[in-house]
Structure 1
Amino acid sequence: MLLIFPPIAKACEPPAGIARLAGALQANNIPCRLWDANLEGQLWLLEQQPEADDTWTGRAWRSRQNHLAALRDRRTYANPGRYATAVNDLNHLLLMAAKPLQAEVGLADYRQSDLTPVRSTDLLQVAARPELNPFFPFFQQRLPQLLDGMTTVGISLNFLSQALCSFSLIGLIRQQYPQIRIVVGGGLVTSWLSRPDWQNPFGDLIDHLIAGPGEGPLLALMGHNTSYCNSLPDYQQLPLQQYLSPGLILPYSTASGCWWNRCSFCPERAEGSRFLPLPIPQVLAELQQLVQQYQPTVLHLLDNALSPALLQGLIKQPSGAPWYGFVRFERQLTDPQFCYALKQSGCVMLKLGIESGDQAVLDRLHKGIELEMAGLILENLRAAGIAVYGYLLFGTPAEDEAAARRTLAFVQQHHAAITFLNLAVFNMPLFGDEVADYETELFYEGDLSLYTGFKHPKGWGRGEVRRFLRQEFSRPPEIAAIIRRDPPQFTSNHAALFVP
């Protein structure tokens, strides 16, 4: 079996999904190959000299290998200006290389003419004409060797930015290798299949679509015993020295779903995702094995929110490597000694969904966050030396302009404890429990869209929110400094590397 991670996603760490699948397949004596077509495809496209001859393109082209080397050098992350130049030049080169085919390729996104990944007819269109994809020559060159002896291809489709390239690749395989069975899973496919109105438009193109964790269904498709799925992820077949980071960032997931699972308008809850954690002793043992085997620069724990029990386990049995991940504002973090213990366990950064600085908004959204406690936690993490990547969500139905200003005041009050910020505008899940309470309108035109527009009950629409963020929220010098600190393109995936 050939497991593929397609373009485009941030190529700074190996794909965790296909590594986990590979471990399960090989534990059941099923041979498999791994292909990170995302990383390899971006590196290939960077070697295609663009037609444009303007000053920026020429300079970037001549410096491309130096820029790649810089992103793999830890010293670059002590020089934000050098880092930004490397990232912006490489992003520009990808854009210029794909431009003749009316595509926009970047380090973190992909667009193709007027096609959209939320419309099944567009995905079928790119599958019918794979030669119009800028990666087509690369796909055509690599597939004969990779598919030699393979009977099945598994494609991990997680993000909208991967969808158009994934279907171009699927179309090419279907045209030139009709005997190959095609299986597609991943986060985006899981979201599609969770739609209550789902009717598969890809039946003639894809043999099997898999929702949720894929180990069991994939083993069953391969005709093997499904009783042994929880095996150590296998990253060995991936080009671990080529990722765009200084040393290996090793991703690892301890659970699927979210242990809290109570937030209003949560896409996970709208999709009915269950919280399925691995046993904590298994997690701690696997992390130590992976650290010993791969010697990563940092561990990226991928969970929607690391559980309090797991944080306790990481303190008692550290992995031996620096790590970062998403957590909630839990009461255990109000203890300064607990935060210091997390730091001693290797924690360099925590991602925290602050969401709002207005208590009434947080209560309406069932976030389970008390602002006074959140402020104390932020200060405890600062004192312990743990960086904070904070997430704010504006434009929820519970918010108005006054509430947004209270968020601004909260961030100003705790700016010294917030290292990075992500500012997001609220998207309403199309099939959430709450959507019936609002007057909805078209958001994305497409039968695969997962979100709906809505008329804000307080007149606090997307335009007003964006204007507030641009003209008011981002203006105070202490907040502007946090926003400027965010790594371009790679954002939270590289942020921990900037922490001293």
Structure 2
Amino acid sequence: MLLIFPPIAKACEPPAGIARLAGALAAHGIPCRLWDANLEGQLWLLEQPPAVDDTWTNRAWRSRQNHLAALRDRQTYANPGRYATAVNDLNRLLLMAAKPLQAEVGLADYRQSDLSPVRSKDLLQAAARPELNPFFPFFQQRLPELLDGISTVGISLNFLSQALCSFALIGLIRQQYPNVKIVLGGGLVTTWLSRPDWLNPFGGLVDHLIAGPGEGPLLALLGHDMSQYGGMPDYQQLPLQQYLSPGLILPYSAASGCWWNRCSFCPERAEGNRYRPLPTSRVLAELQQLVQQYRPALLHLLDNALSPALLQGLIEHPPGVPWYGFVRFEKQLADPKFCQALRQSGCVMLKLGIESGDQSVLDRLHKGIELGMAGLILENLRQAGIAVYGYLLFGTPAEDQEAAWRTLAFVQQHHAAITFLNLAIFNMPLFGDEVPEYETELFYEGDLSLYTGFTHPKGWGRGAVRRFLRQEFSRPPEIAAIIRRDPPQFTSNHAALF
């Protein structure tokens, strides 16, 4: 079997999903190959001479190998200006290389002329004309070697930015290797299959679609017992020295779903994704073995929110290398000694969903966050030396402009403890429980759209929110400094390195 991670996603760490699948297959004696077509494809495209002749592009082309080396050098991350130049120049080269095919390729995104990843007819069109994809020559070059002796291909489609390239790849495989079975899974596919109106438009193209964790269903498709599918993630076949980071960042997922699972408008809840944690003892044992085997520079724990039990386990059994992940504002973190112990375990950064600085908004969204405790936790983390990557969400139905001003005030008050900020405008999940309460409208034109537009009950629409963020929220110097600190393109995936 061949497991593929397609373009485009941030190529700074190996793909955890196909590594976990490889481990499960190996535990059952099933041979497989892994192909990170995302990383390899970006590196291939960076070597294609750009069709545009201008000063910026020419400079970037001459410096491309130096820029790649810089992103793999720890010293670059002590020089944000040098880092930004490398990232922006490489992004420029990808963009210019794809321009003749009316595509926009970047280090973190992909767009193609009039094709939309939320329209099934456009995905089918991408499959019907794979030669219009900028990665087509690369796919065509690599597939004969990779598919030699292969009967089944599994493609891990997680992000909208991967959809059009995934279907171009599927179309090419269908054209040239018609007997190969194609299995499609991953986060985006899980979202599609959770739709109550789902009617499979890809039946003539894809043999099987898998929702949720794929180990069990994939083993069942291959004729093996799906009730027992252990096995550690296996990264050995991936090009671990080529990722765009200074040393190996090793991703690891201890659970799927979210242990809190109560927030209003949460996509996980709207999709009905259950919380499926691995036993904490197994997680800690696997982390110890993976660290010994791969010697990573950094662990990236991928869970939607690390559970309190796992945080305690990491303190008692440190993995032995720096790590970061997403957590909730839980009472454990209100204890400064607990935060100090986390730092001693190797924690260098925590991602936290602050969402709002208005208590009534948080309560109406069922976030389970008390602002007084949140402020205390931020200060505890600052004193412990743990960086905070904070997420703010504006334009929810519970928010108005006055509430947004209170968020601004909260961030100003705690700016010394907030290292990075992600500012997002609320998107309402199309099939969330709360949707019938609002007057809705078209958000994306497409049968695979993930969100619906809505008339804000307080008149706090997306345009007003954008103006507030641009003209008001980003103006105070202490907040502007936090926003400028965010690593371009790679954002939270590189933030722990600074």
TM-score tier after normalising by the smaller chain length: over 0.9
CA distance in 1 between partners of 2:209 and 2:11 (Å): 25
Deviation of 1:106 after TM superposition, in Å, equals 0.1
Q: Does 1:252 align with 2:237?
A: no
Task: Give TM-score scaled by structure 2 length.
Answer: 1.00
CA contact (8 A) 1:156 1:184 kept: yes
CA distance in 2 between partners of 1:425 and 1:52 (Å): 34
Q: Does 1:84 align with 2:84?
A: yes
CA distance in 1 between partners of 2:231 and 2:481 (Å): 43
- 1:76-100 CA deviation, whole Å, 9 max, x = no partner? 0000000000000000000000000
RMSD value, Cα: 0.4
CA distance in 1 between partners of 2:445 and 2:165 (Å): 20
Deviation of 1:228 after TM superposition, in Å, equals 2.8
1:389-468 equivalences in 2 (<5 Å)? 389-468=389-468
CA contact (8 A) 1:430 1:451 kept: yes
Partner SS, residue 497 of structure 1: coil
Map of 2:21 onto structure 1 = 21
CA distance in 2 between partners of 1:430 and 1:423 (Å): 21
Deviation of 1:226 after TM superposition, in Å, equals 2.1
Counterpart amino acid of residue 390 in structure 1: G
Map of 1:154 onto structure 2 = 154
Deviation of 1:450 after TM superposition, in Å, equals 1.0
Partner SS, residue 168 of structure 1: helix
CA distance in 1 between partners of 2:37 and 2:229 (Å): 25
| Aligned residue pairs, count | 498
CA distance in 2 between partners of 1:330 and 1:225 (Å): 38
Map of 2:185 onto structure 1 = 185
Map of 2:372 onto structure 1 = 372
Counterpart amino acid of residue 155 in structure 2: I
1:23-102 equivalences in 2 (<5 Å)? 23-102=23-102
CA contact (8 A) 1:160 1:188 kept: yes
Q: Does 1:288 align with 2:281?
A: no
Deviation of 1:473 after TM superposition, in Å, equals 0.1
Q: Does 1:214 align with 2:214?
A: yes
Map of 2:232 onto structure 1 = 232
Deviation of 1:229 after TM superposition, in Å, equals 1.2
CA contact (8 A) 1:259 1:275 kept: yes
- 1:454-475 CA deviation, whole Å, 9 max, x = no partner? 0000000000000000000000
Counterpart amino acid of residue 426 in structure 1: F
Counterpart amino acid of residue 201 in structure 2: P
- 1:307-349 CA deviation, whole Å, 9 max, x = no partner? 0011000000111110000000000100000000000000000
Map of 1:321 onto structure 2 = 321
Partner SS, residue 63 of structure 1: helix
Partner SS, residue 100 of structure 2: helix
Counterpart amino acid of residue 144 in structure 1: P
Partner SS, residue 315 of structure 1: helix
Partner SS, residue 496 of structure 2: helix
Counterpart amino acid of residue 453 in structure 1: G
CA distance in 1 between partners of 2:108 and 2:268 (Å): 23
CA distance in 2 between partners of 1:151 and 1:288 (Å): 34
1:140-179 equivalences in 2 (<5 Å)? 140-179=140-179
CA contact (8 A) 2:27 2:230 kept: no
CA contact (8 A) 1:323 1:348 kept: yes
Deviation of 1:403 after TM superposition, in Å, equals 0.1
- 1:445-496 CA deviation, whole Å, 9 max, x = no partner? 0000010000000000000000000000000000000000000000000000
CA distance in 1 between partners of 2:282 and 2:321 (Å): 17
Deviation of 1:231 after TM superposition, in Å, equals 1.2
Map of 1:103 onto structure 2 = 103
CA contact (8 A) 2:2 2:147 kept: yes
Q: Which runs of 5+ in 2 are unaligned?
A: none
Map of 2:132 onto structure 1 = 132
1:453-492 equivalences in 2 (<5 Å)? 453-492=453-492
Partner SS, residue 397 of structure 1: coil
Counterpart amino acid of residue 120 in structure 1: S
Map of 1:267 onto structure 2 = 267
CA contact (8 A) 1:98 1:105 kept: yes
CA distance in 2 between partners of 1:56 and 1:483 (Å): 25
- 1:153-187 CA deviation, whole Å, 9 max, x = no partner? 00000000000000000000000000000000000
Counterpart amino acid of residue 411 in structure 1: V
CA distance in 2 between partners of 1:301 and 1:315 (Å): 14
Map of 1:310 onto structure 2 = 310
Deviation of 1:227 after TM superposition, in Å, equals 3.4
Partner SS, residue 201 of structure 1: coil
CA contact (8 A) 1:6 1:155 kept: yes
CA contact (8 A) 1:27 1:228 kept: no
Q: Does 1:118 align with 2:113?
A: no
- 1:369-390 CA deviation, whole Å, 9 max, x = no partner? 0000000000000000000000
CA distance in 2 between partners of 1:449 and 1:365 (Å): 23
Counterpart amino acid of residue 130 in structure 1: P
Partner SS, residue 465 of structure 2: helix
Q: Which runs of 5+ in 1 are unaligned?
A: none
CA contact (8 A) 1:28 1:228 kept: no
Partner SS, residue 390 of structure 2: strand
CA distance in 2 between partners of 1:152 and 1:320 (Å): 38
- 1:93-118 CA deviation, whole Å, 9 max, x = no partner? 00000000000000000000011000
Partner SS, residue 30 of structure 2: coil
CA distance in 1 between partners of 2:200 and 2:311 (Å): 40
CA contact (8 A) 1:254 1:303 kept: yes
Counterpart amino acid of residue 346 in structure 2: G
Counterpart amino acid of residue 210 in structure 2: I
CA contact (8 A) 1:10 1:490 kept: yes
CA distance in 1 between partners of 2:108 and 2:463 (Å): 25
CA contact (8 A) 1:119 1:445 kept: yes
Counterpart amino acid of residue 274 in structure 2: R
Partner SS, residue 497 of structure 2: helix
CA distance in 2 between partners of 1:434 and 1:446 (Å): 21
Map of 1:300 onto structure 2 = 300
CA distance in 1 between partners of 2:344 and 2:49 (Å): 47
Deviation of 1:225 after TM superposition, in Å, equals 2.1
CA distance in 1 between partners of 2:52 and 2:437 (Å): 51
Deviation of 1:224 after TM superposition, in Å, equals 1.4
Structure 1 runs (4+) deviating above 3 angstroms are: none
Counterpart amino acid of residue 202 in structure 1: F
